[in-house]
Amino acid sequence: MPQALADLKVLDLSRVLAMPYCSMMLGDLGAEIIRVERPGLGDETRHWGPPWVGELSAYYLCTNRNKKAITVDLKKKEGQEIIRQLARRSDILLENFLPGDLARMNLGYEDIKAINPKIIYASITGYGQTGPYRDQPGFDFILQAQGGLMSIIGEEDGPPMKVGVAIVDITAGLFVSSAILAAVHYREKTGQGQRIDMGLLDAQVAWLANQASNYLVSGRVPRRMGNAHPNIVPYETFKARDGIYIALGVGNDNQWKKFCKIAQIEHLMDDPQYATNPKRVENRKKLVPLLQEVFLRKDSGAWLQLLGEAEIPVG
């Protein structure tokens, strides 16, 4: 059976992670991906090891499946002409150069649109194509800090922490892949291409989700809470008798009642301090230590089985 995007040709001028992740998603759905790298070193992530698979880093391989790679020197006129010829035959062009860099090579959006009006031209940069920070390079780690994510990651009394994977890069790539699918649909209806502009900061701020809306509604700055949830209790990790931590997610009051029965703490089930989620959130500092003592009564395997059989989210 043909894949959904098998009729699309993608010219990928990007490097590192964010946009290569996007092109990998399109390739997984069947699009033909032509990946352009620098002569000699290629993409810098080829060398981000160990570990290695032959001469390639595992990092490089994690985002570059289902692609055909070529080398082109974009600093030379001949290389720029090769890109223009490829762009004429492409449906989508992907890039993550600093704003203006490709335009100075006559490979910017307006240049490519002039030779291929139906092109979908997508860019990922640190801060977008406009604004006071447009010329600043952007890295996932920096945007996690600058965009507020690190202020809510880590233990309550600990320093800011980053997420263990480059979640801003990956999110930006996913957002752009979604925007490209919308642009393809629009082009089928109108015959017109699109310009897609994604900043890593845009992706990071979107990640704040309920933490951002909580702040906008209450005016209270979100804080680090370890593995706890700002709006749901109990929704965090607990240490079992065998020293292994398990994650418990009691998402509603019905699950709370079932949990109390299984944990043999029925006296807390209808306690006015804990009977509803808003009350449990209000009284979390009293409730969580009580629950931790309960979890120390059994090994992790027993809790996983008991709670899993009761369809209470646990892992």
Q: Are strands 245-249 and 235-239 parallel, antiparallel or unpaired?
A: antiparallel
Tokens, residue 136:
């600043």
- What is 215-268 written as a DSSP string? HHHH-PPP---TT--SS-SSEEEEE-TTS-EEEEE--SHHHHHHHHHHTT-HHH
Question: Is 169 considered catalytic here?
Answer: yes
Q: Which of 91, 169, 197, 270 is catalytic?
A: 169
User: For residue 201, which amino acid is it?
Assistant: L
Q: Report the number of secondary-structure helices (H) and strands (E) in the chain.
A: 13, 10
Specify the DSSP class assigned to residue 314.
B
Three-state SS at 69: strand
- Between CA 237 and CA 248 the distance in angstroms is 6
Phi, psi of 291 (to 5 degrees): -70, -35
- Between CA 160 and CA 225 the distance in angstroms is 11
Q: Catalytic residue numbers?
A: 169
